[in-house]
Each structure stands twice: as structure tokens, then as C-alpha cells.
């Protein structure tokens, strides 16, 4: 039976950060219908399915309602499982083949895993109507929309107090026509803070979001004039993401903790 792990990502403590299911298959291809059913059953923001592909791994991700192009926290969770189960050397770079191209994960001496992900910069886009209503009455500035298929709208608010006060109209967020809404601000305990809402993808608020860091890190790196930033995700569970910004890539680092290990008993629909 395929091994199943539930992993808390972008946290060093159990029951915080972002939960990801990880299903480790002996061989591919992934049965997409089964994967979607399992992801809905697990109920985490994303469930990752991976299997060996030569010396590398094939990796795909599902939310409870749809397959997505990129998921940072479930990639971190998958790498954590491979290292923890001694299926990959703890010092080697792991390579994943995905819908977003080749991604890698590299452990460091501190216990973090570093993901090499594509940068998703924000571009000018018409602002939605009633922005303050979209944010639950909090004033914000519309920054734009990312120019990828799994696009996100980006809004900046004044500070972490305003960020914490955001209570979005989820039906309005789902109607934006993008994958989700990133709300960001200058940080309190870190350089930058953010939250992420993706009801159109079946995730009302994501606790810790590696793909959002692919937008937030380049945005603030340019403003602050520095390539290395720590992002605090101020969700209820919280999360901390270390980032290094390159020309068209973002390295996103974090810890992960396995909370549940078992087997996937249902292997067909």
C-alpha cells in the first residue's frame, strides 16, 4: 500500500504551519481521479503525490477541489518525508519534475530545507471594485496580479495590525478571476508579513504558502534593497519562510514536522 504522511510545513513545532498530505507511490503515473478524492478526504490545503522518475521524482499537488500548478509547502513536506524515510540522502539536492518545471529541495546544516522555485512577479492589472469591502473594511492598496496561469491578486496594507484585521469577503475573493489573494505588509517580528486566501481553489485561508512567497519576496526585496528576507505568515496556525531572491527564481526555506504516518488503504475509486 502507498505510504501516507501528514506533515506540518514551514514550522519547527507540530500542529502549526501548514498541513500537507504526502502520498508516496512506488511507481507512476498518478491516478488523477483517485488523487483528487484522497485530497478531498485528507482536507489539507494540498496533498502531494510523488513517485520515482529515474534518479529524480515526479511530483503533483491537489487541493480538496483541484490540481494546482505549484505548491511550496507540500513540496517542502514531500522533501521532508524523503529525507526522513532515508529515501534520499540528507545532504543531497532532491529534484522534482512538476507542472512548474524542475524544482529542487536542498537540506542545510540548520535543519531547514531550501526549495528552488520560480519567481512569480506582480504586474499592473485593473484594481477590483470596493477594495476595502473585499478586505472586510481594512484600507489597502492594490498592487496588481501575477502573470502566471495560477495567478494571484496582491494587496498591500499599512502594517501587521491592519493585516491581522483583514476579514475578506470570500465570495468576492473567489469572484476575482484569479487563484487567490495575497495581502502583505511590512513585518513586525520579521521584515515582511503576509496572508493568503484562495477560496476559488478550495482553500479559504492558507496557513503558510510557499508559492505566495514567490511573489512577496521579490516585491519586498526590490523595495528594501536586499535579497534575503524572512516572511511571517500571520494566519491562525502561523508560519515562517526564509527567502533568497534571484533574477527569476526564489529560494524558500523552512522546517517541517511529521505528525501522522500510515498507509493509503483505498487505491481505486
Active-site residue, 46 included: yes
186 near 159, Cβ under 8 Å?
yes
Distance CA 175, CA 97 (A): 31
DSSP string, 117-184: EE---EE--PPPS-HHHHTTS---EEEEEESSTT-EEEEE-SSHHHHHH----HHHHHTTSSSEEEEE
Enumerate residues 6+ apart whose C-beta is below 8 A from 91. Answer: 107
Count the Cβ atoms, other than its own, within 10 Å of residue 23: 26
| Residues pairing with 46 in the sheet | 20
- The catalytically annotated residue of 26, 41, 46, 67 is 46
* CB contact at 8 A, 192 and 234: no
- CA nearest to 256, candidates 93, 79, 61: 79
Any idea which residues carry the catalytic annotation? 46
Amino acid at each position: 500500500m502507498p505510504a501516507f504522511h501528514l506533515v506540518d510545513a514551514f514550522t519547527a513545532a507540530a500542529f502549526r504551519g501548514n498541513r500537507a498530505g504526502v502520498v508516496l507511490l512506488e511507481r507512476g503515473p498518478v491516478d488523477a481521479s483517485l488523487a483528487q478524492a484522497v485530497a478531498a478526504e485528507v482536507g489539507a490545503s494540498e496533498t502531494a503525490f510523488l513517485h520515482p522518475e529515474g534518479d529524480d521524482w515526479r511530483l503533483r499537488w491537489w487541493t480538496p477541489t483541484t490540481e494546482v500548478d505549484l505548491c511550496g509547502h507540500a513540496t517542502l513536506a514531500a522533501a521532508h518525508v524523503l529525507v526522513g524515510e532515508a529515501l534520499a540522502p540528507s545532504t543531497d539536492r532532491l529534484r522534482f519534475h512538476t507542472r512548474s518545471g524542475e524544482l529542487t529541495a536542498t537540506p542545510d546544516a540548520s535543519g531547514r530545507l531550501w526549495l528552488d522555485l520560480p519567481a512569480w512577479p506582480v504586474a499592473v492589472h485593473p484594481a477590483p471594485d470596493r477594495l476595502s469591502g473585499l478586505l472586510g473594511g481594512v484600507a489597502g492598496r492594490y498592487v496588481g496580479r501575477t502573470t502566471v496561469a495560477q495567478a494571484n491578486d496582491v494587496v498591500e496594507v499599512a502594517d501587521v495590525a491592519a493585516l491581522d484585521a483583514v476579514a475578506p469577503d470570500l465570495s468576492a475573493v473567489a469572484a476575482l478571476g484569479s487563484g487567490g489573494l495575497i495581502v502583505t505588509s511590512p513585518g513586525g517580528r520579521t521584515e515582511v508579513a503576509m496572508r493568503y486566501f484562495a477560496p476559488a481553489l478550495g482553500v479559504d485561508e492558507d496557513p503558510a504558502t510557499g508559492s505566495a512567497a514567490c511573489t512577496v519576496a521579490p516585491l519586498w526585496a526590490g523595495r528594501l534593497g536586499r535579497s534575503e528576507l524572512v516572511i511571517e505568515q500571520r494566519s491562525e496556525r502561523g508560519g515562517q519562510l526564509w527567502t533568497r531572491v534571484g533574477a527569476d527564481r526564489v529560494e524558500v526555506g523552512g522546517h517541517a514536522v511529521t505528525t501522522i504516518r500510515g498507509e493509503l488503504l483505498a487505491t481505486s475509486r
